[in-house]
Amino acid sequence: DTGVSQDPRHKITKRGQNVTFRCDPISEHNRLYWYRQTLGQGPEFLTYFQNEAQLEKSRLLSDRFSAERPKGSFSTLEIQRTEQGDSAMYLCASSLDGDTQYFGPGTRLTVL
Amino acid sequence: AQSVTQLGSHVSVSEGALVLLRCNYSSSVPPYLFWYVQYPNQGLQLLLKYTTGATLVKGINGFEAEFKKSETSFHLTKPSAHMSDAAEYFCAVRGSGGYQKVTFGTGTKLQVIP
């Protein structure tokens, strides 16, 4: 059990560029979650996968955001046409039972 | 709909004193409740959770919390603070019945004074 990993850990991009983040969950965890955390706030739920199916999406996930989990293992979160307001920490978590979520270290995105 | 309110964005206690971090929730269905801790430059770690059954739940590092439905509260306590408890603590709620969206509070930073 190596824990949840996220890549990259830091990303600096210019406004208007596309970015993609990767999350590798704990092996055999069939549930995967994405959150966004801004300074001084708690994590905000973005989306949830069970295996490869995306079952819940927050209204925070605008049409510029897309998430996939093609084979039910790793997941990617893509942000198109980034805006300064997208600057945040993007967190991934995985779970086996749906109650205990194990969080990764996060990807910090800075949009200039 | 669900929400969490954490009273006090910063709490300071002396080493050895009681730790009390307050959390009130709102949920349209029976809630599952969680406390997470985040140490500087580290990921969130689950401290304890309430799903069903006993309303007093014990977690790691000597922390415990009590689910009080009548008060819609889930306060976190520890009898004696240790320097290593200094961190940010988040209360979270999700609805039972298969819902997976977890709503977090804004967090409480705990400072432990030697």
Chain A hits for B51, CB-CB cut-off 8 Å, are 99
A69 touches chain B (CB under 8 A): no
Strand partners, B113: B14
For range B95-109, the mean pLDDT = 85
Sheet of B2-7, strands arranged across: B2-7, B19-27, B73-78, B64-68, B56-58
Residue type, A95: S
Pairwise pLDDT comparison (A102 vs A1), residue with the higher score: A102
* Residue B42 contacts A, CB cutoff 8 Å: yes
| Percent of residues, chain B, with pLDDT higher than 70 | 98
Average confidence (pLDDT) over B107-114: 96
Give yes or no for B3 touching A (CB within 8 A): no
Average pLDDT, rounded, for chain A? 93
What pLDDT score does B65 carry?
97
Q: How far apart are CA A14 and CA B47, in angstroms?
A: 37
Q: Contact, A48 vs A54, CB < 8 A? A: yes
pLDDT at A14 over 90: yes
Over residues B1-52, the pLDDT tens digits come to 789 999 999 999 999 999 999 999 998 888 899 999 999 878 899 999 999 8
Which residues in chain B have Cβ-Cβ distances shorter than 8 Å to A58?
Answer: 101
Q: Encode pLDDT of A36-80 as tens digits.
A: 999 889 999 999 999 999 998 888 788 999 999 998 899 999 999
Sign of CA dihedral B86, B90, B91, B97: negative
pLDDT the model gives residue A1: 53
A-chain residues near B109 (CB < 8 A): none
